[in-house]
Amino acid sequence: MDATSSAVTQSSDRELVITRIFDAPRSLVFKAWIKPEHLARWWGPRDFELVSCEVDARPGGSYRFHMRGPSGSDHWPQGVFREVAEPERLVMTWRWADAQGRPKDPETILTVTFEDLNGQTKLTLHHGGFESVNARDEHHNGWSSALDCLSEYLVDTSRR
């Protein structure tokens, strides 16, 4: 991945943290997150197509994406912006919905921060929240070593 680097940590229960450095100025990386014409070019896993997207990027504004997977399956992530602090920080709710916009799973929280590194941009994404927001904030430590033991265990178990 040449100039980019990426790191993943699971810092607590049901929370995913990913950091990535992009070789682009912060203002541009931020815009890539809120402008439909940009989003259409990168949003979603490889081979997924962004069929449509509506984005009202201001606090209280909503977004809704229509994604189509390589096998033709349709997906609709949607939510509401809680914070839009250009070019530093975005906070939004996130949940999967059906074609009519009816939620299919519990709401989660997406927090994206953009840090200027001399012209490059360090992006940090937190995906978490859930029912246990408070519990999560209290229990940031001690998770990774337990997770290590557990994943070793799971690998062993699935081999049996």
Partner 1 sequence: MVHHATSTERLNATFAALADPTRRAILARLAAGETSVSELAAPFKMSLPAVSKHLKVLERAGLIARGREAQWRPCRLAAGPLKDAAEWIEHYRQFWEQSFDRLDEYLRELQIKEKGNGRNK
Binding residues for partner 1 restricted to 42-101, rule: CB under 8 A: 42-46
What is the DSSP secondary-structure string of 23-42?
Answer: SS-HHHHHHHHH-HHHHHHH
Shortest distance, position 89 Cβ to partner 1, whole Å? 17
Candidates 52-60, 84-92, 124-132 — which segment interacts with partner 1 by CB under 8 A? Answer: 124-132
- Measure Cα distances from 149 to 29, 59, 65, 117, 142 in Å: 37, 41, 37, 35, 12
Does position 27 interact with partner 1 (CB under 8 A)? The reply is: no
Q: Is 142 helix (H, G, I), strand (E, B) or coil?
A: coil
Comparison of 7 and 85: residue with beta carbon closer to partner 1:
7
Residues linked to residue 144 through DSSP beta bridges, in sequence order: none
* Structure token digits, residue 14: 């049901």
Interface residue list for partner 1 (CB under 8 A): 1, 4, 6, 8, 10, 12-14, 16, 18, 20, 22-24, 28-29, 32, 38, 41-46, 104-106, 123, 125, 127, 130-132, 135-136, 139, 141-143, 145-146, 149-154, 157-158
